[in-house]
Amino acid sequence: MVVNKTFDVAIIGAGVAGSALTFTLSRYSDIKNIILFEKYSEVGLLNTNPKSNSQTLHIGDIETNYTLEKARKVKANASMIANYIEHFGFEGSIGFRRNKMVLAVGDDEVARLEARYHEFKELFPYYKKMGVAELKEREPLIVEGREETLLALGVEGEITTVDFKKLSESFIEMAVENDKNVQIHYNEDVVTLKKVGDEFEIVTKNSTFRAKSVVANAGAYSLLFAQHMGYGKDLAILPIGGSFFFATKKLLNSKVYTMQNPKLPFAAVHADPDITANWNTRFGPTAFMLPKLERYRQLHIMDLLEAMDIGKDTLEVYYNLLKDRTIRNYIITNILDEVPIVGKSVFIKDARKIVPTLQSSDLVFAEGYGGMRPQIVDKVKHELKLGEAKLIQEGAIFNMTPSPGASTSLAIAKEDAITICRYLGKKFDFELHEKEIVNR
């Protein structure tokens, strides 16, 4: 067995989370030996790929499921991506200033959005309130054929759209651009991770490595790595897939989000001009239980069964979700969305909330698009934990970063970099980080 030299930090997974950490450690800390393992041939081929996600920089302004407190935190965290794009000159290649809005339909939603406007306008002073007349001018298809009342909060001139794969590539390019030993290993599938004395042993399909600290940014696999080391046994994964539909022609200029139903755990349907399709309109995502850890990839059945850990406690969480009529109907509808031919006619009801005149023939299933959101199930509290999850144990960090994990990747990277620096007795350059990433 060949054991390669000992690295200060080993990072598993080169999605946006692992790439952001590699960049942050290499640029803002005095750590000199960093290794990043990615099992596929390049950066960001899974959820970070623009075909997998909605390419939205989630700032908290149009996400109506966020409380003011959460929006404040997300704004601070996600702004780091916009700052990075501006500071290093990636506007127009990685980040784009496209208009976006959140749309309220009907009296109840309009009243809720109006109240939200007053509560949130101090945090987002750039909000542009738009009624029917203004919407008709900007996005006529939202108004055409509509009888309900309408109100939208629009955002203009901000970076709203990000190619997170290209962003990750830029992180890696910048991370290796110095005199440190930053190694990026593609096609290097980490199979086991264990602690040997004070160090970690990382066994890949090709070789064995040692590191003083380790960070797993490997999606659902982060939890499996943690559990093999005896941590996070109270957690399991509920794999939620998300698919999209394309319009047969470009319908909208802006990202259009709809109001969240407070009872539903996943984001409401939205329409996004797509970076990968010449800004054609992409509707979605759907949200449905898909027994896979990686969309459009091999099944890995044993890993799936281990991650889902189906037993009395996880089943109780599923039962609690299904008990609620709104959630049950939502789940059924989203499963039907995936059925060929029928799916489109079910999904169109949601999409018509944005474009009322939409016909079934105007939509095509976006084959090859969509990703997985590994949601965390808390087996002790018997609840579904939405959003990011992190386990920290003596020199090891395990991250699971479903939406808005790409938007907050630089903030998560900063937090982890500081934790690792403290553990290794290394320095983090807060001043330079503040100048380049935190403040514009």
Ligand X SMILES: Cc1cc2nc3c(=O)[nH]c(=O)nc-3n(C[C@H](O)[C@H](O)[C@H](O)COP(=O)(O)OP(=O)(O)OC[C@H]3O[C@@H](n4cnc5c(N)ncnc54)[C@H](O)[C@@H]3O)c2cc1C
Among 7-15, 174-182, 227-235, 256-264, which window interacts with ligand X (CB under 6 A)? 7-15
Is residue 98 involved in binding ligand X (CB under 6 A)? no
Among 386, 388, 340, which residue's Cα sits nearest to residue 360?
A: 340
Among 53-61, 134-142, 252-260, 332-340, which window interacts with ligand X (CB under 6 A)? 53-61
Q: Which of 189, 313, 338, 383 binds ligand X (CB under 6 A)?
A: 189
Q: Which of 8, 10, 11, 18 binds ligand X (CB under 6 A)?
A: 18
Minimum Å gap between C-beta 397 and ligand X is: 12
Among 252, 247, 210, 178, which residue's Cα sits nearest to residue 27?
A: 178
Q: Which of 7, 8, 10, 15 binds ligand X (CB under 6 A)?
A: 15
For 40, 60, 151, 246, 358, the CA distances from 146, given in Å and listed in that order, are 47, 27, 13, 22, 11
Residue 75 or 426 with smaller CB distance to ligand X: 75
Q: φ and ψ at 397, to 5 degrees?
A: -125, 135
Whole-angstrom Cα distance, residue 69 to residue 411? 16
> Letter for the amino acid at 165?
K
Helix (H) or strand (E) segment spanning residue 170 = helix 164-176
Is residue 50 involved in binding ligand X (CB under 6 A)? no
Whole-angstrom Cα distance, residue 240 to residue 266? 10
Is residue 38 involved in binding ligand X (CB under 6 A)? yes
Q: Which of 22, 64, 99, 407 binds ligand X (CB under 6 A)?
A: 407
By CB under 6 A, the residues from 232 to 261 that bind ligand X are 242
Is residue 218 involved in binding ligand X (CB under 6 A)? yes
Is residue 306 involved in binding ligand X (CB under 6 A)? no
Q: Is 384 exposed, middle or buried (0-12, 13-18, 19+ CB in 10 A)?
A: middle
Is residue 60 involved in binding ligand X (CB under 6 A)? no
Buried b (16+ CB within 10 A) or exposed e, 120-148: beeebeebeebeeeebbebbebbbeebee
Is residue 17 involved in binding ligand X (CB under 6 A)? yes
Among 67-75, 138-146, 217-225, 432-440, which window interacts with ligand X (CB under 6 A)? 217-225
Is residue 14 involved in binding ligand X (CB under 6 A)? yes
Residue numbers at the binding site for ligand X (CB under 6 A): 12-18, 37-40, 44-48, 52-56, 58, 164, 189-190, 217-219, 221, 242, 285, 370-373, 401-407
